[in-house]
Structure 1
Amino acid sequence: MKTLLLKYKAVIKFILTFSIVYGLLTIAYKFYLQFSTGTAFYPDYFTNLVARQTEILLNKLDYKTVIIPHTNEPSIKVIVNDKYLARVVEGCNSLSVIILFVSFIIAFSGKLKTAILYAFSGAVFIYVINLLRIVLLSIGLYHYPKKEYILHTVIFPAIIYGIVFLLWLIWVNRFSNVKRKHE
């Protein structure tokens, strides 16, 4: 048993570290969501921020856009040229994806300073890509409403998760301790 543990020490360390970090960040995020209700930023600060930035970008692209709080659920309606197109919900703010990304970076450890910089810059990059994804999704829904399923369920999730996967590959192959051990 001890030999088996030693043989898979790196895998066990990765799983435990990932699970602990992911669990702690997820719990912190749940507390954030719980205590952000009833604030001026409906439904929560980051979801509201994503919706407002989506509105700004769509307006800059000449799509007359307004956002309004949804009355029946914790989300924000995106209305383009007086047409209700989409809603921005908590899952659209990219924080859950960022938590997953950061947990992986920490679990595949590297130099502390490099890990912090990579996690931070990766989180910002994921946030920006997610925002652009929502803008493009809104434009797609405006022009091709019958393609909602493929746009929302297939293409745009593939974009965000594909970017995260590429960032992970870069981390593991260029910056993590795993790369240095095999050199």
Structure 2
Amino acid sequence: MKKYLVQFKPFLIFVSIFFLTYIILTILYKFYLNSYQVNDLDDISIFVGKNIEALLRFFDYNVIVQKSSQNPWLEIILNNLFLARIIEGCNAVSVMILFVSFVAAFSGKFKKTALFILFGIVSIYILNVLRIALLVVLLYKFPENNKLIHDIIFPLIIYGYVFLLWIFWINRFSKYAK
């Protein structure tokens, strides 16, 4: 048994750090979400909605992002047409938690790891805002492709980007890059 523990030590360390980080961050995020009332939307999701609205207005779209009067989501109205809603899951925090957990598990030097995590979180946030704004425009122009756009293309964008960040991290900065 000891032979296998020695042989698989790097893998076991990776898995342990990954799951420990993931569990701790997920629990902290759940505490954050539980601080809101049942029909309230969290501040991160509201901030995402404000950024989407500002971005679409910057590109001259007639857009309103407003809190639903009875539900915990934001409604996105483009040219007086309700197109989408932003729920808590749209804020990409769960994707950020997954990203951070992986980078921590393949950590390198503390400063590089911390800076890469910060860069990753900020870039994932920005990509997510761009992604949702583009989603709204595409839903307006191509409503018949709703399922394809929302369920396939847009998850591929965010998860594909995170995967590329992971590959870059492993090859350039992690302690396993050697």
Q: TM-score band (shorter)?
A: over 0.9
Measured on the aligned residues, the alpha-carbon RMSD in Å equals 1.3
Offset at 1:38?
7.8
Residue in 2 aligned with 1:121?
119
Runs of 4+ in 1 over 4 A off after TM superposition: none
Partner of 1:19: 19
1:37 and 1:44 in contact (8 A); partners too: no
Aligned equivalents of 2:29, 2:143: Cα separation in 1: 33
State the one-letter code of the partner of 1:109.
S
One-letter amino acid matched to 2:65? I
Distance, in Å, in 2 between the alignment partners of 1:165 and 1:134 is 19
For residue 59 of structure 1, report the CA deviation from its aligned partner.
1.2
Give the TM-score taking structure 2 as reference length: 0.97
What is the Cα deviation at residue 36 of structure 1? Answer: 3.4
What's the counterpart of residue 62 of structure 1? 60
Listed as ranges, the matches of 1:132-143 within 5 Å are: 132-143=130-141
1:90-169 correspondence runs (5 A): 90-169=88-167
- Indicate the SS of the match to 1:73: coil
SS at match of 1:132: helix
Shift of 1:60: 1.3
Q: Does the residue aligned with 2:107 lie in a helix, a strand or coil?
A: coil
Q: Does 1:177 align with 2:155?
A: no
Q: Deviations over 1:53-96 (max 9, x none)?
A: 11111111121011121234311000011100000110111111
Q: Percent identity?
A: 44
TM-score, structure 1 length as denominator?
A: 0.94
Partner letter of residue 55 of structure 1?
A: E
Number of paired residues? 178
Segments of 5+ residues of structure 2 without an aligned counterpart are: none
- Cα deviation, 1:136-181, whole Å, max 9, x if unaligned, reads 000000100111000000001000000000000000000000113x
Amino acid at match of 1:124: V
Letter in 2 for 1:10: P
